[in-house]
Amino acid sequence: MLRRACDVLGSVGKEVESTLLPLPIQHPEFRMPKCVVRLKDSHDTVHEAVVYAESLYEAALRGLNQLVDVGWESDTSETIKKVEVEIHQEPTRHFVDVPKLLKWVKQDTMRPGEQTRKEKLRKLLGTR
């Protein structure tokens, strides 16, 4: 019988923070790609679950947990060796105001993470 993997997984979904464009997205499914997890049992029956995860391994474990939650059980002698994980990432479109972008990149900040991002962007612009 398949054991649940919930002990391995902690809380999922980080809040997205942007100093340029605060995103009012609260639901964790919008921050993680949609994944379809499939497995074929010993009777050649395909089972699948749709989950949202930040990594391949997280998707596999969440999919297995979801299949157990809906009543799927492996035979006592059956060991699941492989699952298929199909990742869907929706396209995202943004419109960037270039003068505002350039102004923001040139301004220094006290926040180390933001300063690192700005330095990387300055290199792309060919400025320091």
From the list 13, 46, 44, the residue with the least C-alpha distance to 27 is 13
The whole-angstrom separation of Cα 114 and Cα 17 is 11
- The percent of residues in the chain predicted with pLDDT above 70, rounded, is 71
Whole-prediction pTM: 0.51
pLDDT of residue 76: 66
Question: In this structure, what DSSP letter does residue 3 have?
Answer: P
Domain definitions of the chain by residue range: 1-92, 95-128
Q: In the sheet that 84-88 helps form, which strands lie side by side, from edge to edge?
A: 46-52, 34-40, 84-88
On whether the CB atoms of residues 85 and 63 are closer than 8 A, the answer is yes
Task: Express each pLDDT in 61-115 by its tens digit.
Answer: 999 999 988 888 776 666 778 899 999 887 778 888 899 999 988 998 889 889 9
The pLDDT confidence band at residue 128, using thresholds 50, 70 and 90, is: low
